[in-house]
Amino acid sequence: MNSILTSAQMRLADQHTIEVTSIASIDLMEQASSAFVTAVMQLYPDKNTSIVVCCGTGNNGGDGLAIARLLQVRGYDAITVWIARFNSYESDDFAFNLSRLYHTPIAVTEFFPADQLPDIHQHVVIDALLGSGLNKPLEGDWLRMAQHINQANRQTVAVDIPSGLRADGAIPEGEYTVRAHEVVTFQRPKLSFFFPESANSMDAFQVVDIGLDEDFIESLPSDFGLVEAADIQRIYRKRKPFSHKGTYGHALIIAGSTDTMGAALLSCGASLYSGAGLTSACIPKEGLVALNASHPEVMYCSWADLPYTWGSFDAVGIGPGLGKACDNLPTILTYSSKPLVVDADALSFLGGKTALLKQLPLHSILTPHMKEYDRLFGPHGNWWDRVQSAREQAVALQAIIVLKNRYTFIVLPDGTVRINPTGNPAMASGGMGDVLTGMLVSFLAQGYDPQEAAVLACYLHGAAGNQLVAAGMAVVPASRLIAELPRAIASVGI
């Protein structure tokens, strides 16, 4: 897992690296700028590309000055530098890099107020106004400069973070920032990149290594970690050579109603294709023909039989398309001390029912999207607050909350958060959540503990979607994703 640091922790890592590896801070800036330039050269290989580097006077601006010089050294000869001199502050490394720049042919223009800014005719803008040192919203000259950059509508690449975007904490609605097509960020992604509100500030980001001490970074306590392929390799257990259906558990999906049988079928299919030894469906009888036609391997279990058969299931998921039958949830909760996967209609049913929520078996997995989450635990004005609330609820309920989005937040019972990086907009369509539920139940049935199952299911769900997009699909329907799951699993190990 790649821990994600707050801006204060990033500064610590910066200072630590300077002290322990005895690298001077100006040289660390040079390393960061060099890594940035390598990324820019890949984005814009044509050395005739005209570029304006807009610099503040702190270390983000210092990076900008070094980037301009290094680009010129590497053959880019249409470089212009603008400096936003909106106050008297300048960092030492900014000042040093400015003195270096005067030995180059690069044109430097300093702007005192921001109202004399010339039109931007360059092809690319490099945004080095403000970085992780941001401590208040953009206003006055800074705001005008950011507006000027955005109105020019050029290819914009931000250094470390779009100017005006905070690295962590709530992003207030309408907060103005430079809008970057690409952010080349140093050493670790910033937490705010994973929050939907950052979509107003950036299209994409890439992380470049600038040589900070990785051991130190990983030793810092962090509440947020980014799931990596290596985590999945560690969690995933290959199927055993002498094994049979009993080895991989029995999953039960309680789902579907006359009008919403598809949700049940998708969950059952996902359980089957994620490798559960057996999958049973507790669905209305009207769904049997469809179930047999779509997934003949899946068995049927009636509501009446549930009390007697309950003990034979290794894992149970409840909710997709369940409709009115959610009324049975309180009874179901009396059957089991095994963790449940609770999704969709079952989550809506639990909304406001605090006593019932507390009866959920320990380490149950709740899989709300934003609206379901707010229905469960009350409205939230922004994603930061929602995630903080999910951390409190996960601790209080000793549950795992899988808060679904472009980057799904997997909130663990100790209050820490794993951020899932896989998935893509081609997957944004109905039924995807039902598939995730089936996968979660399947991995639980196979003996993964709930935290492992949550990380594994979210990652492979997105990975399957990514594989289909890589194979040329612009849109990925949920039923197609199911068929891809075995291949996504195979990419981890057979």
Ligand X SMILES: NC(=O)C1=CN([C@@H]2O[C@H](COP(=O)(O)OP(=O)(O)OC[C@H]3O[C@@H](n4cnc5c(N)ncnc54)[C@H](O)[C@@H]3O)[C@@H](O)[C@H]2O)[C@H](O)CC1
Indicate the residue among 93 and 231 with the shorter CB distance to ligand X. 93
Q: Which of 136, 238, 240, 244 binds ligand X (CB under 6 A)?
A: 136
**Residue from 56, 262, 317, 321 binding ligand X (CB under 6 A):** 56
If the CB atoms of residues 185 and 260 are measured against ligand X, the closer one turns out to be 185
- For residue 465, the partner it binds in K ion, ligand X, none, with Cβ less than 5 to 8 A by kind, is none
Q: Nearest CA to 17 among 220, 284, 272, 189?
A: 220
Q: Is 159 in the site for K ion (CB under 5 A)?
A: yes
Q: Is residue 181 annotated as involved in ligand binding?
A: no
- Residue nearest to K ion as judged by C-beta position: 163
Separation of alpha carbons 150 and 127, rounded Å? 11
CB of 109 to K ion, least distance (A): 18
Query: In the complex, what is the shortest distance from the CB of residue 211 to ligand X, in angstroms, rounded to a whole number?
Result: 9
158 contact, one of ligand X, K ion, none, CB 5-8 Å limit per kind: K ion
Q: Figure out which of the listed residues 22, 88, 116, 135 binds ligand X, where binding follows CB under 6 A.
A: 135
Q: Residue 410 corresponds to which tokens in the numbers above? A: 């997997």
Distance CA 155, CA 122 (A): 9
Rg (CA), the chain: 26
Q: How far is CA 118 from CA 48, 57, 109, 115, 324, in A?
A: 21, 19, 10, 9, 63
**Dist CA 484 CA 468 (whole Å):** 8
Report the distance separating Cα 401 and Cα 413, nearest Å.
8
φ and ψ of 413, to 5 deg: -65, -15
Does 160 bind ligand X (CB under 6 A)? Our answer is yes
Other residues' Cβ atoms within 10 Å of the Cβ of residue 154: 18
Q: Is 63 in the site for K ion (CB under 5 A)?
A: no
Query: Does 88 sit near ligand X (CB under 6 A)?
Result: no
Q: Is 133 in the site for ligand X (CB under 6 A)?
A: yes
* Count of residues of this chain found to bind K ion when the rule CB under 5 A is applied: 5
Residues that bind ligand X (rule: CB under 6 A) add up to a total of 27
Assess 58 for contact with ligand X (CB under 6 A): yes
Stretch that binds K ion, among 94-102, 130-138, 265-273, 456-464 (CB under 5 A): 130-138
Q: Which does 244 bind (CB under 5 to 8 A by kind): K ion, ligand X, none?
A: none
Rounded least distance, CB 62 to K ion, Å: 12
Among residues 49, 54, 63, 341, the one that binds ligand X under rule CB under 6 A: 63
Kindly tell me which of 138 and 432 has the beta carbon lying closer to ligand X. Answer: 138
Starting at the edge strand found earlier in the chain, the sheet holding 224-226 runs 2-4, 224-226, 417-419, 409-411, 400-403, 365-366, 340-342, 315-318, 250-254, 278-282, 299-300
- Does position 158 interact with K ion (CB under 5 A)? The reply is yes
Residue 207 as a binder of ligand X (CB under 6 A): the answer is no
Residues 303-311: contacts with CB within 8 Å, 24+ apart?
Answer: 303/328, 306/254, 306/282, 306/332, 306/335, 307/335, 309/280, 310/335, 310/336
Nearest to 320 by CA among 441, 155, 151: 441
- Residues in 13-42 at the binding interface with ligand X, rule: CB under 6 A: 14, 28-29, 32
* Contact status: 163 vs K ion (CB under 5 A): yes
Partner whose binding site includes residue 142, from K ion, ligand X, none (CB under 5 to 8 Å by kind): ligand X
Q: Could you tell me how far CA 206 lies from the centroid of its own chain?
A: 13
Residue 219 to residue 397: CA distance in whole angstroms: 28
What Å distances lie between residue 290 and 46, 82, 300, 370, CA to CA?
57, 65, 12, 31
In this structure, the number of other CB atoms found within 10 A of the CB of residue 323 comes to 17
Q: Quick check: 59 binds K ion (CB under 5 A)?
A: no
Residue 22 CB, shortest distance to ligand X, in Å, is 15
Contact of residue 29 among ligand X, K ion, none (CB under 5-8 Å per partner type) = ligand X
Residue range at the interface with ligand X (CB under 6 A); choices 52-60, 71-79, 104-112, 291-299: 52-60
Token pair belonging to 35 = 């890594």
| C-alpha dist (Å) from residue 159 to 125, 153, 321 | 11, 17, 46
Q: Shortest Cβ distance from residue 98 to K ion (Å)?
A: 17
Interface with K ion (CB under 5 A): 127, 131, 158-159, 163
Known binding site for AMP: residues? Answer: 404-408, 433
Binding site for ligand X (CB under 6 A): 10, 14, 28-29, 32, 56, 58-63, 89, 91, 130-136, 138, 142, 159-160, 186, 212
